[in-house]
Amino acid sequence: MNESRRVLIGIGGGIAAYKVCQVISTLFQAGVQVRVILTQAAQEFITPLTISTLSRHQAYTDRLFWQPIHNRPVHIELGEWADLFVIAPLTANTLGKLAHGLADNLLTNTVLASHCPVLLAPAMNTDMWEQQAVQRNWQHLLSDSRYHTVGPDAGRLACDRVGAGRLAEPSEILAAIYSVLYTGGKRDLLGKQVLISTGGTREHLDPVRFIGNPSTGKMGLALAQAAKHRGAKVVLVHAPLTEPIPPDIQAISVVSAAEMRQVMLSYFSAADLVIMAAAVADVKPADHTSEKLPKAQLPTALALEPVPDILAELGQRKQSHQQLIGFAAQTGDIVKPALEKLNVKNLDAIAANPIDQPNVGFASDTNQAIFINKQGRQESVQPCSKLELAHALLNFIGS
């Protein structure tokens, strides 16, 4: 996904500018071509030398505005070069200029001279962010489909104010960059309600012992991010996770399969698309105690009973306007059991994962799959990041 991609980054003046250094470095190491514009104010926080070292290319400043590239104006050449323009941190000053089509420096001139998607990552003091004028400019800018957003997050700011206005974390910015690069900026899920489950459920014998599985929830988190980046309103129902949940995702925490079933059913009717990526237990201990069992009292044989089949129940309740997608983590032949699951549970599509392959499946950062829909069409996706696999699945079910 990164090969030959070209990302132009505009850095505004704010203490959060230091976070963008990690974004630049990570993109370069991933094989993305990176060019960076520094505003005059940004140079009070990070230097052109730092940026040129991380990007392996000179940093562009207003001082270079009139030095042509390939005998063409800098802002024209950079604007046409970029596949994606990222502005981080986006200050209140630059936001106001963009909202009114003003161009008085290299960064804003380049925005007007380009046609690629623009990803905005605001960062400013909470009181500044909440000003009516700033919010009016923000909403006006978002009415243009060219602009995409990540953040701002909430928390303690550099000024010690607690509230909205923190620059999104580098991992969030990177995920949004990869999403927009993958989709080209399309929002094919705008106005859609997407319900996703993830993580491995736990069926407790007592407060400290349970039947579980190795799922970390990374695949479902990637699906939630991908759907959110494509315009959907996302509800994520998750069992215990090892990864942080992006701040813009509505997340509901559960532990057991019974709890997940209750929440999934309560949100199901409002959903246009439902993806069951959770690794839900098949059985649970027949007996459960609220106090820890002494080791000597542990049963030598554990009586088990089945848990409700959430996916099958959703398949029975599914309406004609809804799409229901399942996952099948398999070893050996992954297609045959996935096809059976697809048909028996009335799914629209299924993603079969070969969990016996290296660096694939539970706890990994990469994944691969064979997608199968109810018409019998199959698509094989080779090992890639889980975010890329998530986008590939959304493309598959939307085609």
Binding-site positions: 282, 292, 308-311, 327, 341, 345
The C-alpha atoms of residue 367 and residue 289 are separated, in whole angstroms, by: 38
Backbone angles phi, psi at 367, to 5 degrees: -155, 165
- Is residue 159 annotated as part of the catalytic site, yes or no? yes
- Return the structure tokens found at 254: 């559960």
Radius of gyration of the chain (CA): 24
- Return the structure tokens found at 376: 């019998």
The C-alpha atoms of residue 36 and residue 107 are separated, in whole angstroms, by: 10
Q: Which of 21, 116, 159, 384 is catalytic?
A: 159
- Measured CA to CA in angstroms, residue 187 lies from 84, 179, 227, 374, 397 at distances of 15, 11, 9, 25, 15
Backbone angles phi, psi at 17, to 5 degrees: -55, -30
The C-alpha atoms of residue 349 and residue 323 are separated, in whole angstroms, by: 8
The answer to whether the beta carbons of residues 177 and 148 sit under 8 Å apart is: no
User: Mind giving me the DSSP string for 217-283?
Assistant: SHHHHHHHHHHHHTT-EEEEEESS-SSPPPTTSEEEE--SHHHHHHHHHHHHTT-SEEEE-SB--SE
Q: Which of 23, 5, 33, 1 minimizes the C-alpha distance to 395?
A: 1
The C-alpha atoms of residue 36 and residue 24 are separated, in whole angstroms, by: 9
**Long-range Cβ contact pairs of 148-151 (< 8 A, separation 24 or more):** 148/117, 148/118, 148/119, 148/120, 148/176, 148/180, 148/185, 148/229, 149/119, 149/120, 149/121, 149/122, 150/119, 150/120, 150/121, 150/175, 150/176, 151/121, 151/122, 151/123, 151/247
Backbone angles phi, psi at 89, to 5 degrees: -75, 145
Q: Which residues are annotated as a binding site for CTP?
A: 282, 292, 308-311, 327, 341, 345
DSSP state, residue 325: E
Active site residues: 159
